[in-house]
Amino acid sequence: MKIEHVDVPLDNNSYTINIGDDIIDSKYLFPLLKKGDRVVLVTNNVVSDMWKNTIVHYLLQYRIIIDEFILPDGEKYKNLHSVESLLSFLLKKKHDRNSILISLGGGVIGDLTGFVASVYQRGIRFLQIPTTLLAQVDASVGGKTGVNHVLGKNMIGSFWQPIGVIIDTIFLSTLSTRQLVSGFAEVIKYAISFDYEFFVWLEKNLVKLSVDSKKMLYCIKKCCQLKSKIVNLDEREKKSRMLLNFGHTYGHAIETHFRYSTWSHGDAIAVGMIIASKTAEIIGLLKSTDTKRILKLIYMAGLPIMPPKNMYAQEYLKYMERDKKNISGGITLILPTSIGKVEIFNNIKKDVIVSSIQSFL
């Protein structure tokens, strides 16, 4: 059993990401738990039906005291109401500062669990066990936690690092094709943003990932390495960590507009990357040949390449104007200048944004 390790070196909150296939029962599963610890396993009803009993079985072998908190599945439950429900559960069960939350699920469960861990009694420990590709390559790493608001995605949150991340590709076997494809959006984001050679590798291997476990492990590790490097440079998103948001300003506008229901995060980010690339092309930052390669790879992944027909340019703007990256009222975008490199651009003109969106409608 080979387990890959990626360290996330931070000043005060360093931890290790353990990556492997069928490692759920290994000694790496719960590296920082000890006999008698109290934990709350936080998951959703879909993941619970498939994996909860397995996790509980191994926790009990460690003689861990377990409570379970199960939410409904879906991005629409990533909100303050769910936060309050989990906080009330912790209080009723008399959990203290030594309790540990374990997140078992995708990005919704991970973000919400981490946020609650950051505020309960001013901060308790939590462990990430991501079960979707999107969470394994992105959301579970880096300590960005939070919930959505009807007026904007991830507008309420905190930076709170986990004590560890356990990435087991066995969880991917139970994902639907749509869920797996959704995760490819974040994979492609890393290649476009930071690594041209990885982009070329994806052009050759993307369609093989779902049937080749070695290639999938390489892909996940590569994404974790790229994110760890950025988080180490800028843990709290003062500047360089903003680069991880390529495609997200447009994508979050789509998710928010449709109330986090009809468009998945991956689908929205895929379209967001295409519009952002077109924006860069219009400004003169990106060659049209690069835009076409980006679009082709996203299409190859099975992700959407056209914006929603029933969402107009002005509707994007009202959400983009509230984006966290904005400075002094202007719209900030992360745009590619070539495949493998993105930069931060402030005060992008609204007519350029409108033109970028309308070019697809």
| Nearest to 130, CA basis, from 74, 169, 156, 100 | 169
CA distance linking residue 23 with residue 281, whole number of Å? 44
d(CA 150, CA 31): 37
126, 119 Cβ separation under 8 angstroms: no
The values of phi and psi at residue 256, to 5°, are: -65, -45
Active site residue 95: no
Positive or negative torsion for Cα 29, 108, 210, 218: negative
Beta carbons within 10 angstroms of residue 312's beta carbon: 15
Specify whether 350 is catalytic.
no
**Active-site residue identified among 241, 255, 257, 278:** 241
Cβ contacts of 149 within 8 Å, gap of 6 or more: 79, 80, 155, 156
235 assigned to active site? no
Query: Residue 281 catalytic?
Result: no
Query: What span, in angstroms and rounded, lies between the C-alpha atoms of 356 and 276?
Result: 8
CB 33 within 8 Å of CB 61: no
Answer whether 342's CB lies under 8 Å from 198's CB. Answer: no
Q: Which residue is catalytic, options 95, 144, 189, 278?
A: 144
Look at strands 100-105 and 125-130 and give their pairing.
Answer: parallel
Catalytic site residue from 81, 92, 122, 239: 122
CB 65 within 8 A of CB 36: yes
Catalytic position from the list 186, 235, 255, 281: 186
144 is catalytic: yes
3-class state of residue 40 by DSSP: strand
Catalytic residue, candidates 125, 222, 227, 257 = 227
Active site residue 186: yes
The question of whether 27 is a catalytic residue gets the answer no
Phi, psi of 215 (to 5 degrees): -65, -35
Active site residue 257: no
Active site residue 5: no
Is residue 252 among the annotated active site residues?
yes
* Partners of 42 in the β-ladder: 69, 103
Q: Which entry of 75, 235, 237, 281 is annotated as an active-site residue?
A: 237
The per-type count for the chain, helices as H runs and strands as E runs, is 13, 11
**How far is it, in rounded angstroms, from Cα 5 to Cα 16?**
7
Active-site residue among 222, 252, 257, 278?
252
Residues that are catalytic: 122, 144, 186, 227, 237, 241, 245, 248, 252, 265
